[in-house]
Amino acid sequence: RDRQHSLEIEELIETFPMFAELDDNAHEELLLLFRPRSASPGDRVIRTGDRGDSMFFIASGAVEVQLEDDEVPLGAGSFFGEMALLTGARRTADVVAVDFCQLFVLERRDFNLFMSRHPQLRAAVSHMARERQESNVSR
């Protein structure tokens, strides 16, 4: 592999420790599946009630999850938009960029394919979704 490419894998793991356990084939696959997208402060990346067909990983910058009565900040290394992919339900919150952001978009079909091949990652993402859901219910 060329230097540029292995550097990208290194950066990927550095930014997203949740991918550290995957092998390099999986890392290369992720780099192919991730679609880069930028967002500017104020951009509404996700709107409550919409159908969701993708999830987002934050490479840099910060967003705010806007719930009915609360805001949750998320920064580099975090992800959002996983709930709609896991449950098929509509978007449960607004997600607004509060900074210039570099995001990686993972489309539903790529999510399904990748997660079926990496059940431990699916479990980690599902666990986070469940924790978020529970904290929202008890808010």
Residues within the interface to ligand CMP (CB under 6 A): 46, 52, 65, 72, 80-84, 91-93, 95, 132, 135-136
Cβ contact 30:19 at 8 Å: yes
Nearer to ligand CMP by C-beta: 83 or 101?
83
Tell the smallest beta-carbon distance from residue 69 to ligand CMP (Å). 11
C-alpha span between 110 and 54 (Å, rounded): 9
Nearer to ligand CMP by C-beta: 13 or 72?
72
Which residues lie below 8 Å from residue 131, measured CB to CB, with a gap of 6+? none
C-alpha span between 122 and 124 (Å, rounded): 5
Nearer to ligand CMP by C-beta: 83 or 97?
83
